[in-house]
Chain A
Amino acid sequence: MMAYWQNVWDRWQFLWDDRGDGVTYFQWMLSAWGYTVAVAAASLVIALVFGILIGTLRTLSGHRIISAFAAGWVELFRNIPILVQLFIWFFVISELVPGMRSVPGFVLACCALGFFTSARIAEQIRAGIQALPTGQRNAAYAVGFTQFQTYRYVILPQTFRIIIPPLTSEAMNIVKNSSVAFAVSIPELISFAMQTQEETSRGVEVYLAATVLYAVTALVVNRVMAFMERRMRIPGLTLQTQGAH
């Protein structure tokens, strides 16, 4: 029995080995984890900015061209597989659009993942806006708010509270989806796992480690969002009564 655990322990020792350039596999793993988090975080920022904007534009009544543009955006970015979109950014847009060739791969990967996710967030924003009673909009206009002020002070603050649960899923998805970035040589966790497995043949340990790091990251995101949900809770109001009044 003792010998078995000794063996398990020994199998993980490769983490402290030098991979050949003064960097241990453990240090490489941490750096790869950092890339995963960085890609996910930057993509989430892009996804939120464009998702909120596009989702809001889709709900503007009486602006046919704007809402057609927003609807087109959503369909474009959610009808094409994420891996295909990633390749298009790398091999089509960077070739055909002037000046894009000098843009770092990290930025292109974040654009691909961010725009892909923005289509999903836009739909959640739209659903949240449409879930609000129309009376709120009327009341905002009645006190003299412009359309912009109505969204800024009345509609969107309530929308965010409604859509925190699906937004949590989206933030966790973006962490998991960042793994496709290995396909364009971003040195993130999957990239680390594949190369390390080739160099050390420690497939079991390497993929177990990557799995645990993904799970931990997603769990942290989940807890942060749960904290925000509690912080933003409106006294005397639950989501059930918010829609029903």
Chain B
Amino acid sequence: MIEMKSVSKWYGTTQVLNDCSVKINKGEVVVVCGPSGSGKSTLIKTINALEPIQKGEIWIDGVAVHDKATDLPKLRSRVGMVFQHFELFPHLSVTDNLIIAQVKVLGRRRDEAKKRGLQMLERVGLIDHQHKFPGQLSGGQQQRVAIARALSMDPIIMLFDEPTSALDPEMVGEVLDVMVGLASEGMTMMVVTHEMGFARKVSNRVIFMDVGGRILEDTTKDEFFGKIEDRQPRTREFLNKILQY
């Protein structure tokens, strides 16, 4: 489904991704974790070309993302993305947020798009808020609407870039519940997160990245959390720190 081959990226002379290779199969849930500055967010943003790469190849469902000739808007419309700061369009109502890309990008009729959008809003449990504006919702609600917006496009994969990092602790659960639901239905997902509970519960694989943009570990969930002594020293240090409390 997704394949990254030896992807490298630099900002000026600073290397932010170093020879990263990842493969994600259909229906897999892959969690990416690591310290700040390790390039997790950059890695996930290269998949739908929000961040350009200088070296390597990225393939989504047989389409070459790195190829200059690729129709990026069309490709991105098939990849759902959820951001740390939600990024709903604040000047549009919840309903219009769900509809606009379906109509303008996929060319769906407005009533058809509205039906699909409200189905997704129902599924994230916010159908009562359809007429509100993003600024009138809590952070957790906004993030659930953002997930519904991405799902309305019927994506083949969902990318989550630290979806709970900007939320009050009380609201993390409601967003993770939606994500767990998606995973259990077989949605292909790549999730950058520090929520190790989520990784333990639903992920198939865990990728650990370290400063400098290198992938240190890419292993099954059971191995990652099961035999900590088999992990690399840097990974052990990280896990010990974040699992301490």
Q: Does B87 contact A (CB under 8 A)?
A: yes
> Is the pair A142, B132 in contact by a Cβ cutoff of 8 Å?
no
- Size band of the interface chain A makes with B: 20 to 34
Q: Smallest CB–CB gap between B43 and chain A, Å?
A: 15
- Assuming A236-B134, A237-B133, what are 8 further A-B pairs, CB within 8 angstroms? A135-B83, A136-B89, A143-B76, A143-B100, A144-B76, A146-B73, A237-B90, A245-B90
Q: Supply 29 A–B pairs (Cβ within 8 Å), ascending by A.
A: A135-B83, A136-B89, A138-B45, A138-B83, A141-B72, A142-B48, A142-B76, A143-B76, A143-B77, A143-B101, A143-B105, A144-B74, A144-B77, A144-B78, A144-B101, A144-B105, A145-B101, A149-B73, A149-B105, A157-B91, A234-B90, A235-B132, A235-B133, A235-B136, A236-B132, A236-B136, A236-B137, A237-B91, A237-B134
> Is the pair B83, A139 in contact by a Cβ cutoff of 8 Å?
yes
> Is the pair A142, B90 in contact by a Cβ cutoff of 8 Å?
no
Q: Does A16 contact B (CB under 8 A)?
A: no
Q: Does A12 contact B (CB under 8 A)?
A: no
CA distance A141 to B51 in the complex (A): 11
Main secondary structure of the interface of A (DSSP, over half): helix
Q: Does A242 contact B (CB under 8 A)?
A: yes
B residues adjacent to A (C-beta < 8 A): 45, 48, 50, 72-74, 76-79, 81, 83, 85, 87-91, 100-101, 104-106, 132-137, 149-150, 153
CA distance A140 to B101 in the complex (A): 9
CA distance A176 to B137 in the complex (A): 43
Q: Smallest CB–CB gap between B244 and chain A, Å?
A: 31
Q: Smallest CB–CB gap between B129 and chain A, Å?
A: 11
Q: Does A154 contact B (CB under 8 A)?
A: yes
> Is the pair A234, B153 in contact by a Cβ cutoff of 8 Å?
no
CA distance A142 to B150 in the complex (A): 9
> Is the pair A138, B50 in contact by a Cβ cutoff of 8 Å?
yes
**A241 touches which of B83, B135, B150 (Cβ 8 Å):** B135
Query: Which A residues are in CB contact (< 8 Å) with B132?
Result: 235-236
> Is the pair B73, A144 in contact by a Cβ cutoff of 8 Å?
yes
Q: Smallest CB–CB gap between B189 and chain A, Å?
A: 15
Q: Does A124 contact B (CB under 8 A)?
A: no
Q: Assuming A153-B104, A234-B133, is B79 touching A142 (CB within 8 A)?
A: yes
Closest to B88 in A: A139
Query: Which A residues are in CB contact (< 8 Å) with B136?
Result: 235-236
> Is the pair B83, A158 in contact by a Cβ cutoff of 8 Å?
no
Q: Which of B78, B135, B153 has the most CB of A within 10 A?
A: B135
> Is the pair B83, A235 in contact by a Cβ cutoff of 8 Å?
no
Query: Which A residues are in CB contact (< 8 Å) with B137?
Result: 236
Closest to B152 in A: A143
> Is the pair A138, B87 in contact by a Cβ cutoff of 8 Å?
yes
Q: Smallest CB–CB gap between A136 and chain B, Å?
A: 6
Query: Which A residues are in CB contact (< 8 Å) with B78?
Result: 144
Q: Which 5 pairs across A and B sit closest by C-beta, in order of nearness?
A: A144-B77, A236-B135, A236-B136, A139-B87, A237-B135
CA distance A142 to B149 in the complex (A): 11
Interface residues of A in 146-167 (CB under 8 A from B): 146, 149, 153-154, 157-158, 161
**B91 touches which of A143, A145, A234 (Cβ 8 Å):** A234
Query: Which A residues are in CB contact (< 8 Å) with B100?
Result: 143, 153
Q: Smallest CB–CB gap between A71 and chain B, Å?
A: 23
Q: Does A72 contact B (CB under 8 A)?
A: no
Q: Smallest CB–CB gap between B224 and chain A, Å?
A: 28
CA distance A242 to B134 in the complex (A): 11
Interface residues of A in 191-245 (CB under 8 A from B): 234-237, 241-242, 245
CA distance A143 to B90 in the complex (A): 15
Query: Which A residues are in CB contact (< 8 Å) with B89?
Result: 136, 139-140, 153-154
CA distance A242 to B133 in the complex (A): 13
CA distance A245 to B81 in the complex (A): 18
> Is the pair B153, A144 in contact by a Cβ cutoff of 8 Å?
yes
> Is the pair B149, A133 in contact by a Cβ cutoff of 8 Å?
no
CA distance A237 to B90 in the complex (A): 8
CA distance A133 to B149 in the complex (A): 19
